[in-house]
Structure formats: C-alpha cells, structure tokens
Amino acid sequence: MNNNKILPAKDIGNSQGDSSTLDRRQLLKAGALGSLLLAGASRVYGASDEYPLASTRSGKIRGTSQQGIKVFRGIPYGGDTAKTRFAPASPELPWEGVRDALDYGAAAPQRGKEEPTAEDCLFLNVWTPALRDGKRRPILVYIHGGGYDNGSGSSGLYDGTNLCLRGDLVVITLNHRLNAFGYLYLAQLEARALGSREFAASGNVGQWDLIQALQWVKQHAAEFGGDADNITLFGQSGGGAKIASLMATPAAAGLFHRVFTMSGQQVTAAGPRAATQRAQLLLDTLKLSPKQLAQLKTLPMEAIIAATQDTKDPSRIENNRLYFGPVLDNHLLHQHPFYPEAPAQSRRIPMVIGNTKDETRAFLGGDPKNHNLSWEELPARLELSQYSDVNPQVVIDTYRQLYPHYTPSQVFFAATTAGRSWPGAIQEAEARARQGAPAYVYQFDWGSPLDDGKWGAFHSIDIAMVFDTIHHPQARTGTSPAAQKVADQMSEALIAFARTGNPNHKGIPRWKPYSLEKRETLVVNEKSQLVNDPRGGERKLYAQVPFVQRGTF
C-alpha cells in the first residue's frame, strides 16, 4: 500500500456516519502465524516463533510473540449470541486442550465489513510484556469506534505492541454487539403486546457485552501481568461515547478506574419513547407486528442488518438510516450519562475528554464541492450539514468576524465541526468541573499533511497517535518526524494517565484540569500549548441553542 495516499473517511470508525475499518486480513502476508509484516513498520509488526501459553477460566490458549510482546487474539469472553439474541450473553463454552489464539475473532454483524462477521462475536485481544510475573501493570482497554453501528477491535491501527514497549503495560481490544443486535429496544413493545419481559435488556445488550468483557479482564488481570485495580478505558468516537455511558451504569461500577475519551461523548441516551418508535419502524420494514417479536430471534442476521440500513430514521440529524445507541431503559441505564450532571458514581474516576479541530473533514471532505464553496453557496450547505439549529447566516457572520481570513470552505468545515458533536464534549467537561471531578481536555490541532493538507485534524486522526501506529497505512498521518513527535506526546500522555490518573509528562506543557473559570485545554500540535478557552467565540455561538445528542428524540 502507498502510505502517501489518503484513504476514504469511511474506512475509519466514526460516530457521525457510516464507516468501516479496513480488514487486517487484507494486509496479512503469508506466514506460519499470519503476522502483520508491513514495509516501513517492522518496529511494530515483526514476529518471532514463540508460542506463549496462558490459562483462562475456560481453558488454555496459545498466542504469538511480537518483538517480545506476547499477543493473544480472538479470546472468547462470552458465548455465541445467536443463542441469546437481544438478551445478555451467556458465558463462553469451555474447551479441552489448548486453543489457538493466533488470529482475530469474527466482528459483530454489520454491513460493509470485509472481515468475517457473525453473531458469535464476543472476542478480545491481549498484548502483554509478560505473563504471571506479579508486576501488576496498568491495563488499557480500547473500545472501538464506528458509532454503535459498526467497527471491531481488529484494526491494525489498534495494535498494542508499541504501547506495551513504551509503557510496560497491558493492552486489550475487543468486539461487542452493535446496531440492532446490540441496541434494539423491544421492552415496551413486548410488554404492551405480549405482557412478557424476555426482551427487557434488549436496548443495551451491547453495553452488557462490554461489562462482561470488563469482568473477564478483571478476573484475568494477574494471568496477563496486569493490575485488576488499575484498568483504564480508552476509546475514540463511538468508543468514547460507550465509555461515557458506562460511567453512568451501576452494573459497571468498579470495573474501571480511569477513562480517556477521544471525539466521543454521550450526554444523553435515547429515551424509551424514541427507542420504541425506532423499534416499531424496524418491525414495519420487516413486516412484523409486535405480537410476532419471537420471529426476530430466528430471522437470518443478514435480513435484520438489511432492514436497519433500509429504514429511515425519524430524526433530522441522522444519515437516512435507523439510529441505534444506549437507551434510558431503567434496567441497565437509570439516568442520562451526563445530563443534568456528571454521573456521581464516576466522580472519583479521572477523565480525559478530547476532540479534533477539523472533525467533519473526515465525513464531508470527500466531496470536492465542499472545498470550493462560494459565499453564496455556503448558507444552503450549512443548513444541510450542521446539526445545531442555528440560522446559517448568523453562523457565517459570526465566523467572518472571528476569522476574517477564512474562506467559505474553511467556515463550512469549522462550523459543521463546532455545530455537531463538539458541544457535547464541552458539556461533559463543564459537568465534571461543576462536580469537582478531574477532567483533562485536549483539542487536537495537528493536521495530516497528506493530499496537500486538505483533511486537516480530521475525526480519528488521534487514534494512530495514542497507539503510536503512524506507520500503519490507515493512520493517514504520514510518517514524518513531526508526526512521530505528536505520536510521542499523545501515547506518553495516555501511558502517564494509565499509571497515575494524570496525563502530564515531560514532553508536553503542564496540562491542568478543566475549570469553568479558565477552560484550560491542551492544544495538541508539533509543539503543544495549554490554552484557555480555545475557540471561545465558536463555543459561545453554539451555546445559544440546546445540544441534542444523537438518538435522544
């Protein structure tokens, strides 16, 4: 692959639109272990002939070794969810002998995924410097993006080798149920039509999967050289949103101790009325009545996936397909994650909240027209593409005052970024500040140099930076010394945060927690700076209207 050619934005998981992650199997070279060997990336993807053995609650597993890091892929943490569709998963079945953990397990059912998908998808992957040595290393658990609709933990961008080498810690990625299989809320339809509660948990089984995975991690921490009392969740886009929801989930209490979120926030969940409305629309597409809910358990998974894609969402801000996400079901989730305040149960959990300066260039930058807009064309484009309901001409006038040198296209990308998910990140930071809980906020400004810089600091650019996987073709960062310098800053901040709950290290200026008085924000660039209230004018503009989380209504 050509590292100088940028890949389409849909190839990176995101929470704003359809996306898929390039399958790692497309990048595999022939070899006994199927190890990833990429030109120019041997420091990450080399392999040895070692086959380390580990013990799990269900049996022994055999992994591989990669630059001295022990790697186990495709470890089951739950049973085949085809047998528990729309319900919490059963435990994984035990096995005899030694099970190979050499390749990733199937991703959750979804459209457009080039790697294998199946309802038997509850797998996780572990990178660790050592087994059973009693060192109690920090454990980093990554929750993938793709909204609540698609993605997996198997992308080469998420390879944990470099983090392990840098920080002497344990890295884990995982798969869980998505879209209708993970978040179709059937409880109210079932209660009204059938008077039963078989599907009481259906609206959040994807979150139940995450809880089951974290219980597995805690149980096996010592086996993989980690500390069960020092588990950091980190995730980008939908991954960050899932983490925010877990922060307000009583069943997840005690399963993690720090959170590092990247362009992913969840202020409110879907209300039960809205979630029920979406479930009814899906039933209508499938030509089923609520009295026929039992048939959903036996339909081919492909039929359900097709129906979710073919059903238009009633919300103005969705992308013409049905939205799925966590539901305020009073079963798993009893309160909105960050409304009206930050969750009390997570008050003592340190948090990082980050966004990129040019988020929407990942979604809207593929249209050449958006890079060559006139002032006359801009109002209609803004009306179509910004989520916040602000008069487009007021937006344009404000941006021309704030940034007189901006072109119409620069205003377009800046305003659509500020008017989509960014206000949710601000609300989370403000809620934490009011609570007196530590929140470290960053704004990622360093822009990709590829394609003459047209993508800027796009949504997901910070993934490769925190994993230090900029040599991977999907990173879209280039491999310049400047890119590596930014990766050094971000990955070291993550490692410091996992160790101490404080992201400060010698490679960045002193990073202070966010306060309502100063709004301290680390602006990440080749030379990062701590700035008070960056983009304050934009923040005030969009604070004039309520922020509405996707799927709430």
Catalytically active residues are 237
462's CB contacts (< 8 A; 6+ apart) are 236, 262, 263, 354, 356, 444, 490, 524
The C-alpha atoms of residue 440 and residue 429 are separated, in whole angstroms, by 8
Cβ-based burial of 397 (10 A; exposed 0-12, middle 13-18, buried ≥19): exposed
Contact 265, 425 (CB under 8 A): yes
Amino acid present at 427: Q
399's CB contacts (< 8 A; 6+ apart) are 406, 411, 414, 415, 538
The C-alpha atoms of residue 72 and residue 60 are separated, in whole angstroms, by 11
Contact 169, 137 (CB under 8 A): yes
Mode of pairing for the β-strands spanning 137-143 and 123-128: unpaired
Alpha-carbon distances of 175 from 11, 102, 513, rounded to whole Å: 17, 16, 32
The C-alpha atoms of residue 543 and residue 553 are separated, in whole angstroms, by 20
Locus of tokens 């580990």 = 54
CB count within 10 Å of CB 273 equals 12
Contact 154, 74 (CB under 8 A): no
Report the chain's C-alpha Rg in angstroms.
Answer: 22
- DSSP reduced 3-state for 522: strand
The beta strand positions in 150-257, using DSSP E, are 170-174, 226-236
Contact 494, 469 (CB under 8 A): no
326's CB contacts (< 8 A; 6+ apart) are 148, 183, 203, 204, 206, 207, 242, 245, 266, 269, 270, 333, 337
In the sheet that holds 98-100, the strands lie side by side as 53-56, 59-62, 98-100
Alpha-carbon distances of 130 from 40, 72, 221, 246, rounded to whole Å: 26, 12, 11, 29
Two tokens at 260?
A: 């590092």
Torsion, Cα of 301, 304, 305, 308 (10° steps):
-170
74's CB contacts (< 8 A; 6+ apart) are 101, 102, 103, 104, 105, 123, 125
Mode of pairing for the β-strands spanning 529-532 and 520-524: antiparallel
Two tokens at 507?
A: 């490679």
